[in-house]
Amino acid sequence: MSVNIPEIFACNVFNEDVMKTRLPKNVYRALKRTMQNNEPLADMETADVVANTIKEWAIERGATHYTHWFQPMTGSTAEKHDCFISPAPNGMAIMEFSGKALVKGEPDASSFPSGGLRRTSSARGYTAWDPTSYCFVKEGSLYIPTVFVSYTGEVLDKKTPLLRSMQALSKTAVRFLKLFGNDRVTRVTSTVGAEQEYFLIDKKMYDQREDLILTGRTLFGAKPPKGQDLDDQYFANLRPRVAAYMAELDEELWKLGIYSKTKHNEVAPAQHEMAPIFTTSNLGTDQNELAMEVMEKVALKHGLVCLLHEKPFEGVNGSGKHNNWSMSTNDGQNLLDPGDTPMDNLQFLTILCALIKGVDEYADLMRLSAASAGNDHRLGADEAPPAIVSMFLGEELEAVLQAIEDDAVYKTKARAFKIGVDALPSFPKDSTDRNRTSPFAFTGNRFEFRMVGSSDNIACPNVLLNTIVCEELSQFTEILEPFKGKDNFDAEVRKLLKTVIKEHRRIIFNGDGYSEEWVKEAERRGLPNYASTVDCMPHYMDEKNVRIFRKFEIYNQNEVAARTEIHLEKYSKTVRIEARTMIEMARKQLLPATMDYVQSLCEAIATKKQIGFTCNTDEKIAKKLNELADRFYESIERLETRVTEANSVSGIQKQAEFFHDVVLAEMDIMRSIADEIELNMPAAKWPIPAYSEIIYNV
């Protein structure tokens, strides 16, 4: 049964096409102005018309409820459903939806993390309709994308700063582009295409693992005999269950207006990827949140569980979310497209240098935009980008920059590609090769930020990228504006670029980012290497960082402090839950199973001895496991003490550090003992499914 994609695409989305056909012309135009130019929606009457139209449309699609959908600091989306129901005369009911209800909601904010921004006594929070994203219908409700702010107007969510950063970027970039004679551009939009990695495992296995259920990752598990050693998973043909899952996932995503484009098996066994076509950062963020939800739900229909955690399994690759980022103008230019002759594309080179300078100066922000307890297990491990932020530009751009630095002439090389088989079509070679080990890699017409964790909301990295670029573009504009339209403009630009390249070259690294040498080399270059969330998070509050947030009105100082606090608190809570889960599994499942087995060995030994059988092997195994059980028990006790100690550490940063330095370290010890026990136990006696059962089962 084949799917008619154009027919089902966006059938549940109130997009521009629907708006155009359903809304009165003047209302449509007003809404479109809001969407395109960030103009506030004219008045409540307009909102009323929009609301009524959306309601009719949603009811046709089976909706009975509406919900203001928002992205609080919990890291997931939030929704509260209200029915369209309203009393009518004679005890009857009608379906009603007003402009007021569309525009504003008032969820009680007190149960969402605010990092001290909102006292419980003033719990009021508001959700406000974001007309720049699309409403959609799902599971009987109309979803209205909203932002979430406190009574005093401080941000409590991930969307508001994103919208602020997009607005600031547009203003800054439009002014910058005028320098290069780009006068027609009135709007610049940041774009994102988020490649989403995930694991798929059998629900029956999942249900037997408390660690997966409670923490999203396995806290125990000996390495299987075969991991990703043979490199035979990446792009491998799709097994039937996986293919069926992916087909349904695609269909559901298409119906929700998400251009799901690419699907394939990833490097680790049971690991896969879905990549949509890029869109604006705003819509892209909403769609990625939605995609993650749909991925999890569709999996359940197939008896599967979709794991979005960054590191569900030790010893094989973790999952990331490659955040492909660029900027496009309202007249259709991709500002990171170098064209065929990058050397002559001064506008591109200037933007590139702005990025080089920005990434170097704000590497700490880039790093912390991807920091979480889950992602800590991934960044810096040998498969993921290292925790050191650097940029990959590729050979040609490197050479172009070198030429600028040396005041030399760079000749663009003809880039014909030679395969050596006459019958094959010829095609031009790209200006960059790929480098999969770089955290921030130029990939031909965009940068791919690879640090982001698979379960993360992508708003934060995009807010920070946008803000950094704002700062650099505005600095460049200040410097270059006096020369605008003058004969020496090009020369002045080159002079500026030369200085920037000289000063910030250290951030460019085209080699192997996974290598030990790079860690040393980066240190020599003075690049920060923040290994964990607790190392990088305090830098959110560094003066230089707060300065740019305030300058572009992304966050005020309190809002940055609140965010720092929320991230650190979440870190501590995550590790605490993991530690407690380990303790519980150890006490209730793993240790009793081990002791039972030792006991049964001992009984066997006694019986064997009675009839004069040798029992060397039984004794050896029993002795070994008995010793391991002793060590295991001690480590459980120690971990328990450590968690109690951690709870009484005062200060949010200090507590997070304690969880990182002490509790996590103890968890590692405990795990290694458990894994050794597992390797010495009969499979049938081990109470939880082993790695090889889980990752080779689907």
Where along the sequence are the contacts to ligand ADP (CB under 6 A)?
191-193, 195, 262, 275-278, 324-326, 334, 445-446, 448
- Coil, helix or strand at residue 676: helix
Residue 46 or 196 with smaller CB distance to ligand ADP:
196
**Minimum separation from the CB atom of position 519 to ligand ADP (A):** 25
Out of 157, 195, 202, 310, name the contact with Mg ion by CB under 5 A. 195
**Minimum separation from the CB atom of position 253 to Mg ion (A):** 16
Q: How far is residue 325's CA from residue 194's CA, in Å, rounded to a whole number?
A: 9
**Minimum separation from the CB atom of position 322 to Mg ion (A):** 6
Instruction: From the list ligand ADP, Mg ion, none, pick the one residue 320 interacts with, judged by a Cβ distance below 5 to 8 Å according to partner type.
Output: none
CA atoms within 13 Å, Cβ hemisphere of 2: 3
Instruction: From the list ligand ADP, Mg ion, none, pick the one residue 278 interacts with, judged by a Cβ distance below 5 to 8 Å according to partner type.
Output: ligand ADP
Number of residues that bind Mg ion (CB under 5 A): 2
- The Cα-based distances of 274 to 259, 462, 534 in angstroms read 10, 20, 31
Q: How far is residue 633's CA from residue 622's CA, in Å, rounded to a whole number?
A: 16
**Minimum separation from the CB atom of position 234 to Mg ion (A):** 10
Q: Alpha-carbon torsion 361, 362, 366, 371, what sign?
A: positive
Those residues with Cβ within 8 angstroms of residue 498's Cβ, 6 or more apart along the chain or in another chain: 404, 405, 407
**Minimum separation from the CB atom of position 261 to ligand ADP (A):** 7
Residue 367 or 446 with smaller CB distance to ligand ADP:
446
Among positions 275-314, residues that touch Mg ion (CB under 5 A) are: 275
- Coil, helix or strand at residue 261: strand
Alpha-carbon 515 to chain mean position: 24
Residue 176 or 447 with smaller CB distance to ligand ADP:
447
**Minimum separation from the CB atom of position 234 to ligand ADP (A):** 11
- Residue pair 178/485 in contact (Cβ under 8 Å)? The answer is no
Alpha-carbon 673 to chain mean position: 33
Alpha-carbon 511 to chain mean position: 25
Those residues with Cβ within 8 angstroms of residue 160's Cβ, 6 or more apart along the chain or in another chain: 147, 148, 149
Residue 262 or 600 with smaller CB distance to Mg ion:
262
Q: How far is residue 256's CA from residue 138's CA, in Å, rounded to a whole number?
A: 8
- The Cα-based distances of 89 to 83, 86, 92, 94 in angstroms read 18, 10, 6, 9
Alpha-carbon 596 to chain mean position: 43
- CB-based closest residue to ligand ADP: 193
Residue 48 or 197 with smaller CB distance to ligand ADP:
197
- Residue pair 647/639 in contact (Cβ under 8 Å)? The answer is no
**Minimum separation from the CB atom of position 441 to ligand ADP (A):** 9
Among positions 357-396, residues that touch Mg ion (CB under 5 A) are: none
Residue 77 or 196 with smaller CB distance to Mg ion:
196
**Minimum separation from the CB atom of position 513 to ligand ADP (A):** 15
Stretch that binds Mg ion, among 194-202, 424-432, 565-573, 630-638 (CB under 5 A): 194-202
Residue 109 or 249 with smaller CB distance to ligand ADP:
249
Residue 189 or 572 with smaller CB distance to ligand ADP:
189
**Minimum separation from the CB atom of position 273 to Mg ion (A):** 5
Q: What is the DSSP string of 422-450?
A: TTSPP-BPPS----TT-SEEE-SSSEEE-
Instruction: From the list ligand ADP, Mg ion, none, pick the one residue 193 interacts with, judged by a Cβ distance below 5 to 8 Å according to partner type.
Output: ligand ADP
Residue 5 or 679 with smaller CB distance to ligand ADP:
5
Instruction: From the list ligand ADP, Mg ion, none, pick the one residue 518 interacts with, judged by a Cβ distance below 5 to 8 Å according to partner type.
Output: none
Binding site for Mg ion (CB under 5 A): 195, 275
